[in-house]
Amino acid sequence: MRPMFRASLIAAALSALAPFALAKTVVAGPGGQVPPHPLIVGHSTISSPGRYGGTLYEVLGGAPATFNIYGTLNPHTYTVMMHNVLSPLIRENPVTGALEPGLATSWSSSKGGLKYTIHLRRGVRWSDGAPFSAQDVIFTMRCAEENPAAQGNNAGAFTIGGKTVAFSSPNPYTVVAKLVKPDGSFLRLLNEVDVIPKHVLAADCPFYNPKATNAQFNAAWSINTPPKDIVGTGPFELAKYVPGQEVVLRRNPYSFYASTYGQQLPYANHLTYLIVKSPQVQVAMFESKQLSLLGLNASQFSTLKAKQVAGAPFQVLLAKNPYPSALAMYFNYNDKHPDLASLFSKARFRRAVGEAIDYHRIIDQVFHTLAAKPVGWISPASVDYSAKYRGDYGKYDPAAAKKLLASLGLHPGSSGILHFPDGKPVQFTLITYGHNSSDQKMGEVVQADLAKVGIKVNLKLLNFSLLIQQSFGGNFDASLFGFGSTPNNQFRQPIWQPGGSLYFWHLSDRVNKKADPSVMFPWERALYKDFVALDTTTAPAARSALWDKIQRIYAQEQPATFLVWPDAALSAVQSNVGNVFIRGGYLWAANYALYLK
């Protein structure tokens, strides 16, 4: 399962596809070849016709671990590959939630909802010139999306009614999906399927090559793979990777993207990602025009906005974030220290921690008021959100927290630190991202506030890859970071359903890598069953009732301590970059549409 980790504002916005009226003719970009059926993207993505040429410079906060999005949980890999080098089958508009064409042009379902027919775009070519076909989609589903051994799989989401969705292709431009039970959100699951090439990767997949292994598939397209061997159908192709320094993409001559102005996209000759870990250095590089655009945190926004007002040659933009990442702290129920494992698994402790943290200080001092109090993991913008449980989050009441902790048999010693009944001090290590000032500052607030109620927190700052490695490996006490959110909340099922592949804070819910309700806590077992029921429930009222039950259990049990809900998208863009704009309150900045004026 590929978690939608928090990305920069620009990276989050560049996936937006908005089909519009077809242009009468499409002119090829420099060295390009226009396919017979291009995808025409509209005015919500492109505000003006662009100019061809030049290089756009963006930033990565760390290095990609690989170029195989299905062999990693690395967000920098996703930023580079998804919607740049690779193309989605279907896109979900990030603002409206509407499903829109990608490599698929149309789709339909049978009356009973057990069969879906997906029609593919004809004439699309991979960046090495090979033709794209339905076999590439089948390959992607079999070897990656539905393969539980692929590290970035979505096998849990595509297992409906206890069986994996069966994909087949009656002809080169049609894919048929058969379900054993109806699933009202099935098409939504397809919006994160970025198709990979069978003709390049089949030799690395054990389903196609008996001599291959799943480990071999996960290791394919490593950072040492020659760029020419990494191909996609996206607007760009990989040109060069300098480890630890930069990733260079160039225009894909076979790009099937085009504008309503009759121009093949992308406009830029190259898109270069510079690898810079320090947020302070990133801002300095932007101010010296080494970066074309930059996603910002709240403190950077305030500083750069003041400089823009004073006449600096760039724009600083504040837009809505309709589906932001809920930032949370997760406790390891299987902690290697038995006393901590027992404590973390108690809802009273988790509620006490939540009531001890001053959310207002995080909002004011860390996010400079550009955030909201926590409301759980489902966005208030979602149709599934139940406002009735809003009050169960963000209760700042240290006195109540102390009472809850005392009820657990924890009492202060001479130093003021709480002790377990056996006399051991109550302390744990909190790991978080060390190159993101917001995460680090949140960790410092948590550390200070929990000290006031007698809990000692040792803050440990890690790079993102190590943070994820330790978290998903169960090698932590507490972990602080954010998963992404989405209009389709069922797509987050592997994260929030006990036993899910990303439900990392209680790994013993899985036996032999499969969810096992028999070993779950009673409340987890109830959650698990509600999520299973959602898989095959299509009636809107029944689905709403299930979502309500799930949110009620989360509010009661507080499996994760939600800290804050950043509700603003912040960015800075140089004045010579076109097609970065705010419309309807939302930012639009698709890499394929950006150009140098």
Q: For 90-104, what is each residue's pLDDT tens digit?
A: 987 766 678 889 999
pLDDT at 107: 95
**Quick one: average pLDDT of 53-71?**
95
Residue 326, pLDDT > 80, answer yes
Directed axis angle between helix 347-356 and helix 437-452, to 10°? Answer: 110
- Quick check: is 307 in a domain? no
Q: Strands, DSSP E only, in 451-549?
A: 456-462, 478-482, 510-511, 514-515
Rounded CA-CA distance 531/534 in Å is 5
In the listed set 208, 240, 259, which residue is the last one of a domain according to the structure?
259
| Residue 110 neighbours by CB distance under 10 Å | 12
Same domain, residue pair 117 and 211: yes
Same domain, residue pair 247 and 339: no
- pLDDT greater at residue 320 or residue 355: 355
Same domain, residue pair 331 and 210: no
- Quick check: is 110 in a domain? yes
Residue 14, pLDDT > 70, answer no
- Mean pLDDT, the chain, as a whole number? 90
Please, which pLDDT band fits residue 12 given cuts at 50, 70 and 90? very low
- Quick check: is 512 in a domain? yes
Same domain, residue pair 250 and 361: no
Query: Which of 420, 36, 417, 469 shows the shortest CA–CA distance to 254?
Result: 36
| CATH number, domain containing residue 171 | 3.40.190.10
- Residue 6 · residue 484 · CB < 8 Å: yes
Domain count, the chain: 2
Same domain, residue pair 119 and 225: yes
- The token pair that represents 60 in the structure block: 């990565």
pLDDT at 41: 86
pLDDT at 5: 45
594 phi, psi to nearest 5 deg:
-70, 145
Give every CB contact of residue 237 below 8 A, 6+ residues apart in sequence.
85, 127, 227, 230, 231, 249, 250, 251, 252
- Quick check: is 317 in a domain? no
**CA-based torsion, 572, 574, 575, 576: positive or negative:** negative
Domain with 552, as residue range(s), is 327-564
Lowest mean per-residue pLDDT among 169-178, 254-263, 515-524, 534-543: 534-543
Residue 8, pLDDT > 70, answer no
Residue 173, pLDDT > 90, answer yes
Same domain, residue pair 372 and 464: yes
| CATH number, domain containing residue 456 | 3.10.105.10
- Quick check: is 215 in a domain? yes
Same domain, residue pair 342 and 221: no
Residue 229, pLDDT > 90, answer yes
Angle at 377 between CA 373 and CA 378, to 5 degrees: 100
Give CB contacts under 8 A, 24+ apart, made by 300-303. 300/570, 300/572, 301/368, 301/370, 301/570, 301/572, 302/368
User: Could you read off the pLDDT of 489-547 as tens digits, one per residue?
Assistant: 877 888 999 998 889 999 999 988 789 999 999 999 999 999 989 877 888 899 999 99
| Alpha carbon separation from 131 to 122, 201, 229, 236 (Å, rounded) | 9, 15, 15, 17
Residue 4, pLDDT > 60, answer no
| Alpha carbon separation from 89 to 100, 138, 172, 571 (Å, rounded) | 9, 12, 15, 28
Please, which pLDDT band fits residue 68 given cuts at 50, 70 and 90? very high
- Quick check: is 296 in a domain? no
DSSP annotation of 127: T
Same domain, residue pair 234 and 341: no
Same domain, residue pair 544 and 419: yes
pLDDT at 430: 98
**CA-based torsion, 373, 564, 328, 403: positive or negative:** negative
- Quick check: is 264 in a domain? no
Give CB contacts under 8 A, 24+ apart, made by 409-416. 410/454, 412/454, 416/454
Same domain, residue pair 237 and 108: yes
- pLDDT greater at residue 444 or residue 157: 444
**Quick one: average pLDDT of 78-94?**
90
In the listed set 222, 241, 259, which residue is the last one of a domain according to the structure?
259
Residue 581, pLDDT > 50, answer yes
pLDDT at 561: 95
Helix ranges (DSSP H) in 408-498: 437-452, 464-472, 493-496
Same domain, residue pair 452 and 556: yes
Residue 584, pLDDT > 60, answer yes
Query: Which of 411, 432, 437, 431 shows the shortest CA–CA distance to 422?
Result: 411
User: Could you read off the pLDDT of 131-145 as tens digits, one per residue?
Assistant: 999 999 999 999 999
Give every CB contact of residue 300 below 8 A, 6+ residues apart in sequence.
279, 283, 570, 572
Same domain, residue pair 331 and 242: no
- Quick check: is 272 in a domain? no
Residue 15, pLDDT > 50, answer no
In the listed set 217, 241, 259, which residue is the last one of a domain according to the structure?
259
User: Could you read off the pLDDT of 481-505 as tens digits, one per residue?
Assistant: 988 766 678 778 889 999 988 899 9
Angle at 330 between CA 324 and CA 334, to 5 degrees: 150
